[in-house]
A and B are shown apart, each in its own frame.
Chain A
Amino acid sequence: MNILSVKDLSKTYKSGSRSLTVLDQVNFDIQAGETISIVGPSGSGKTTLLGLCAGLDSASTGSVQLNGQALEKLSEDQRAAVRNQDVGFIFQNFQLLPTLTALENVMVPLELKKRKDARTKALELLEKVGLGDRATHYPTQLSGGEQQRVSIARAFANEPKILFADEPTGNLDTETGEMIEKLIFDLNKEKGTTLVLVTHDTELAGKTQRIIHIKGGKIQEDAHA
């Protein structure tokens, strides 16, 4: 079954009279449980593609079906509901809410789902990423690697069907980066989540089942490992 299905997807930015086509007729399908990486040079349109797949942005033409729903037919607030139900995010720059503690950051997706056990569930996840003792710390009190671990805990909190990660190790040193990678893959295996990983690190990409190469907004190669 396809969890994500991208058809003839294009994105064009207009600035004044000039227009810039960042994505050009992109097509691919991703099956549930698959792990896939999108690689390509900087500026090739990876982030744009990820944003469209996750329903953060709307396409110029083409369609994206996420878990059976055509995103382009939904309003921004309806897409927000889809994101809360089915999608998890890990960002290059962590994107924790600075005024919330580590625990509260993890609780947010659970609370949005109106889970009564939000706190215990969030604490459990924090333990899992090895930060059970830092629950009451604010993001500024955590190192980059720790912040990213909180962010991973948050991403898995709502038990998403699909997880998007945009250069999750891009802001971290190699050692920490490797630990984060391991954490993501471990949790992913445990939960059986679909994983879409954007990276320019071919070594990291090699750990996924499938690699899509993108360049100049077009898919160059779509290869299974």
Chain B
Amino acid sequence: MPMPDFAWILRMAFRDFRKNISRLLLFVSSIVVGIAALVAISSFGENLTSDIDNQAKELLGADLVLENNKPIGDQPIDSMALNTASEVNFASMVAFPASGASRLTQVRALEGDFPFYGYLETIPASGDADFRAGGKKALVEKILMAQFDAQVGDIIKVGEVEFEIAGELQSVPGQTGITATVAPAVYIPMAYLEETGLVQYGSRVEYNRYFVFAENTDIDLLIEPFEDEWEIERIDADTVEDRKRSTGRSFENLSNFLSLVAFIALLLGCVGVASAVNVFVKEKLASVAVLRCLGVSSRDVLLIYLFEILVMGLFGAILGSVLGTLLQFILPVVFADFLPVEVTVGISWLSVGFGVITGLFVSVLFALLPLLKVRNVSPMATLRPETADSRLMKDPSRWAVIAGILIFIWGFSYYLLGSAQLAFGFTGFVVFAFGILWGVGQLIMWAVRKFLPISLRYTVRQALANLYRPNNQTISLIATIGLGTAMISTLFFLQNQLLEEAKFADKEDQPNLLMFDIQTPQLEAVKEKVTGRDLRILQEVPIVTMQLNEINGVDKRENEELPDDENYSRWMYNREYRVTYRDTLIDTETLAEGELIPLGARGDSIFVSLSTSFAEGNNLKIGDEIEFNVQGRPIKTYIGSFRNVKFNQVSTNFIVLFPNGVLEQAPKFHVIITRTKNDRESAAIQSEVVREFPNISVVNLGVIVETLEDILNKISFVIQFMAFFSIATGILVLISSLIISKYQRMRESILLRTLGAGSGTVSKINTLEYFFLGSLASLSGIILSFAATWLLSAFVFDMNFRPAWGAGLVLYLAITGLTIVLGWLNGRKIINQPPMEILRGNG
């Protein structure tokens, strides 16, 4: 075959394009939102990365931080630093004596000029200076101030010491809104730490030392000689570079995840493109037959229409990229609670280019799927127009296009996820989700046709029949709107489910109040306070802290020498283990492997039980030997069993469980779990205990539920924002399909009216049709999301599935209502058209 005459093909494409431009614009409009989302996220990610780079020092607040769980003594690098600061931080109850309320907070005792980069932002602005000027002053995180309705100048009590609030803390370098929600901070001067009496045995305390060095110091080089020593001391050194890397990595993960969500929106749009182009192609079949008759080769015919799609795809991609760049400006607001740095916004040409190329590529790829048909149109259709459609043959090159699409999805997700396997997983998920929705759509349509009685009113029957009209994109609408609905409702249901589960825990007999850090001498007094109120002590758990010396004879230092695939996680050697002892399992535990072996059952060996997830995560096996270090005393143990631990109740959960008879004499502290009758009683007992024993921390279920709700709201806001793109795409596809089918609808309406149907009947039929369409699409999505929520509840979160009927109903009504309104807006014009216009016009 001769080379295609591109000049002529372009000319033909342009001629056809002239008359089709508005319709073609509709086709590609479906991808605009997806591209916009992708470009916005990608630009945001790019800018965030460079902001993290630029603000890395503020992230850490210093050039170097040393961390340990015991006091860090004088260091040789002290003298090399320009300045140093220290911080001791731990969780403790803080009381607001004015109201008698108290809450668990993160207490940070500070000494020195930390942060060296950035600053503690307070209201009033002088708060920070005031705090550092000396005296019993404290800075209190704003969410605490709001919760307890406290004012600057009020008194708070931390342990045994009362402090005056010098300022309301607005932001701390390197901290996000989420950190503040989970563990709101109270800063106190280090000078009064001792006096609070809070740092005693069992307190989980973190000691930090901050260093700042002369400009241009090579920190890595500087600390190199000390690292071995720190390693032994279990001191963790964190430099600006480290922090930059870890923050950068976690945000890269976040932005990649969000890009995937945006990509799903784009794929939904692609389905819209394919289905709109399908209609376009059907309308072009007659023209194709004529062109073939006049002697145009099938390849050249394909090229003519492909060029049109290409131009439109380019247009859609550019439009999407522009919108995405604009959209980026609101992202910092959406993500405000997650960002540790100030984010700048600006055009990222890399992202724009990425968006344009992606948009062009997907629109062509997905348009090709229906477009390939034009190659198989027989010129005979000119003589017998009615056969144009039925003369299409199955084209093997369609499989090539489908393969191309799958490869594209895989490649794209590989680029984002960086793992071939995950990319396969994602591709599989996409295929599965579309397959399911397509199947559900088919099934519902089949069922409607099969089971709806003929005796239905005429209008209903006509409306249903309309769903099956040839160019109606019913199935693809069900897929796009359905998937959008499914995404939103899954997130919504899941969030509901998590909250319900937490609230559900608050039923008869379930514990709802937990007191920890109880010192042995305090134990009896605390128990009396509980029983004195006629409450039962549901659990009393002794806790011993220890560290790990050796695993199967490998100590920390030897472990460092082992190659990467043979060594144990360094973290196992560095962490502190909080261990309890008993010979039985509790409600939240089940035995997964091995058995619980009491002391003395097998000679004098000590058998411990590990949580399954810990053991699996660290490659430990039954029978492995572990030597613990309890307050300097080595204790050799063997792994006797693995336990599955359920973490969704107010309870104490332990990675390591010792048998009775080993740790009784070790220094320990205690946890008491009880159930109060109501929130008032919880508050009363909490304030009583905290007043008398400030070192004891009290958590009640109400606060946990509240915090959880808070966090879930923040996360779900972001996720719903992302899911919005999918719904928006679904709506665009809906609008475009309504407009595409408008002409057909007009003809039908005219026909009906000519046959004597009143315009009332016609609009009733139309409304009913939209009602059915909206119902089918939203129900498919909701059914799918119920299934997804059920699966996630059962297999990921280990919860009972509680279907959110109410939320489902609201979503159903909202989406169906929206479909009807959009259809109605589109249909209004149809009904008002004079019949002659339509009978004469010929598209």
Do the two chains bind? yes
Binding site for B on A (CB under 8 A): 47, 50-51, 56-57, 76-77, 80-85, 87, 89, 91, 93, 95-100, 104, 108-109, 111-112, 114, 138-140, 154, 166
CA distance A48 to B90 in the complex (A): 91
Do B297 and A80 touch (CB < 8 A)? Answer: yes
Query: CB-CB < 8 A to A84: which residues of B?
Result: 294-296
* B 71-123 contacts with A by CB, 8 A: none
Do A112 and B378 touch (CB < 8 A)? Answer: no
Which of A57, A100, A138, A139 makes the CB contact (< 8 A) with B380?
Answer: A57
Query: CB-CB < 8 A to B297: which residues of A?
Result: 77, 80-81
CA distance A96 to B842 in the complex (A): 12
Query: CB-CB < 8 A to A77: which residues of B?
Result: 1, 297-299
Query: CB-CB < 8 A to B19: which residues of A?
Result: 98-99, 138
CA distance A89 to B379 in the complex (A): 11
Given the interface pairs A51-B383, A89-B382, A95-B286, the reply to whether A111 lies near B15 with Cβ below 8 Å is no
Q: Chain A nearest CB: distance from B389 CB in Å?
A: 16
Do A80 and B842 touch (CB < 8 A)? Answer: no
CA distance A47 to B291 in the complex (A): 19
Which of A81, A85, A109, A166 makes the CB contact (< 8 A) with B383?
Answer: A166
Given A56-B380, A91-B383, 16 more pairs with CB closer than 8 A: A56-B382, A57-B379, A57-B380, A80-B297, A80-B379, A84-B294, A91-B382, A93-B385, A98-B19, A99-B18, A100-B16, A104-B15, A108-B294, A111-B8, A112-B294, A140-B841
Query: CB-CB < 8 A to B295: which residues of A?
Result: 80-85, 87, 109, 112
CA distance A63 to B247 in the complex (A): 76
Query: CB-CB < 8 A to A47: which residues of B?
Result: 383-384
Most buried by B among A56, A82, A87: A56
Query: CB-CB < 8 A to A51: which residues of B?
Result: 380, 383-384
Do B290 and A95 touch (CB < 8 A)? Answer: yes
B47 sits at the interface (CB 8 A): no
B5 sits at the interface (CB 8 A): yes
CA distance A87 to B20 in the complex (A): 30
Which of B12, B15, B378, B841 makes the CB contact (< 8 A) with A57?
Answer: B378
Do B20 and A97 touch (CB < 8 A)? Answer: no
State which size class the interface on B falls in.
Answer: 20 to 34
Given the interface pairs A77-B1, A99-B18, A104-B15, the reply to whether A56 lies near B291 with Cβ below 8 Å is no
Query: CB-CB < 8 A to A104: which residues of B?
Result: 15
CA distance A77 to B842 in the complex (A): 30
Q: Chain A nearest CB: distance from B562 CB in Å?
A: 68
CA distance A166 to B383 in the complex (A): 8
Query: CB-CB < 8 A to A98: which residues of B?
Result: 19, 287, 842-843
Closest to B19 in A: A99
Q: Mark B273-301, 1 if CB is under 8 A from A, else 0.
A: 00000000000001101111111111100
- Give 27 CB contacts A-B under 8 Å: A47-B383, A56-B379, A56-B382, A57-B380, A76-B298, A80-B292, A80-B298, A80-B379, A81-B295, A83-B294, A84-B295, A89-B382, A91-B382, A91-B383, A93-B385, A95-B289, A95-B290, A95-B293, A97-B291, A99-B15, A99-B16, A99-B18, A99-B20, A104-B15, A109-B294, A111-B11, A114-B5
Most buried by A among B293, B294, B384, B385: B294
Query: CB-CB < 8 A to B380: which residues of A?
Result: 51, 56-57
Query: CB-CB < 8 A to B286: which residues of A?
Result: 95
Query: CB-CB < 8 A to B18: which residues of A?
Result: 99
Query: CB-CB < 8 A to B12: which residues of A?
Result: 108
CA distance A57 to B391 in the complex (A): 11
Query: CB-CB < 8 A to B20: which residues of A?
Result: 99
Do B296 and A112 touch (CB < 8 A)? Answer: yes
CA distance A133 to B15 in the complex (A): 20
Query: CB-CB < 8 A to B16: which residues of A?
Result: 99-100
Closest to A76 in B: B298
Closest to B284 in A: A99
Query: CB-CB < 8 A to A96: which residues of B?
Result: 290
CA distance A82 to B19 in the complex (A): 30
CA distance A89 to B295 in the complex (A): 11
CA distance A109 to B382 in the complex (A): 16
* B 4-62 contacts with A by CB, 8 A: 5, 8, 11-12, 15-16, 18-20
Q: Chain B nearest CB: distance from A164 CB in Å?
A: 9
Do A80 and B296 touch (CB < 8 A)? Answer: yes
Most buried by A among B295, B380, B843: B295
CA distance A96 to B293 in the complex (A): 12
CA distance A104 to B297 in the complex (A): 19
* B 340-390 contacts with A by CB, 8 A: 378-380, 382-385
Query: CB-CB < 8 A to A97: which residues of B?
Result: 287, 290-291
Q: Chain A nearest CB: distance from B694 CB in Å?
A: 83
Closest to A93 in B: B385
Q: Chain B nearest CB: distance from A77 CB in Å?
A: 5
CA distance A51 to B378 in the complex (A): 11
CA distance A104 to B11 in the complex (A): 10
CA distance A140 to B19 in the complex (A): 12
Closest 10 CB pairs of A and B: A84-B295, A99-B19, A83-B295, A56-B379, A57-B380, A99-B16, A56-B380, A77-B297, A80-B295, A95-B290
Q: Chain B nearest CB: distance from A69 CB in Å?
A: 14
Closest to B299 in A: A77
Q: Chain B nearest CB: distance from A63 CB in Å?
A: 18
* B 549-570 contacts with A by CB, 8 A: none
Do A89 and B293 touch (CB < 8 A)? Answer: yes
CA distance A119 to B1 in the complex (A): 26
Q: Chain B nearest CB: distance from A155 CB in Å?
A: 10
Query: CB-CB < 8 A to A80: which residues of B?
Result: 292, 295-298, 379
* B 367-425 contacts with A by CB, 8 A: 378-380, 382-385
Query: CB-CB < 8 A to B378: which residues of A?
Result: 56-57
Do B294 and A56 touch (CB < 8 A)? Answer: no
Closest to A139 in B: B842
Closest to B288 in A: A97
CA distance A77 to B375 in the complex (A): 10
Do B293 and A83 touch (CB < 8 A)? Answer: yes
Q: Chain B nearest CB: distance from A58 CB in Å?
A: 9
Q: Chain B nearest CB: distance from A57 CB in Å?
A: 5
Closest to B841 in A: A140
Query: CB-CB < 8 A to B293: which residues of A?
Result: 56, 83, 89, 95
CA distance A4 to B299 in the complex (A): 28
Q: Chain B nearest CB: distance from A209 CB in Å?
A: 24
CA distance A111 to B289 in the complex (A): 18
CA distance A100 to B290 in the complex (A): 12
CA distance A166 to B380 in the complex (A): 12
Most buried by B among A85, A96, A112: A112
CA distance A140 to B286 in the complex (A): 15
CA distance A99 to B11 in the complex (A): 12
Q: Chain B nearest CB: distance from A150 CB in Å?
A: 12
CA distance A196 to B646 in the complex (A): 86
Q: Chain B nearest CB: distance from A191 CB in Å?
A: 18
Q: Chain A nearest CB: distance from B643 CB in Å?
A: 66
Q: Chain A nearest CB: distance from B84 CB in Å?
A: 78
CA distance A87 to B293 in the complex (A): 9
Query: CB-CB < 8 A to B383: which residues of A?
Result: 47, 50-51, 56, 91, 166
Which of B8, B15, B842 makes the CB contact (< 8 A) with A100?
Answer: B15
Q: Chain A nearest CB: distance from B810 CB in Å?
A: 46
Closest to A96 in B: B290
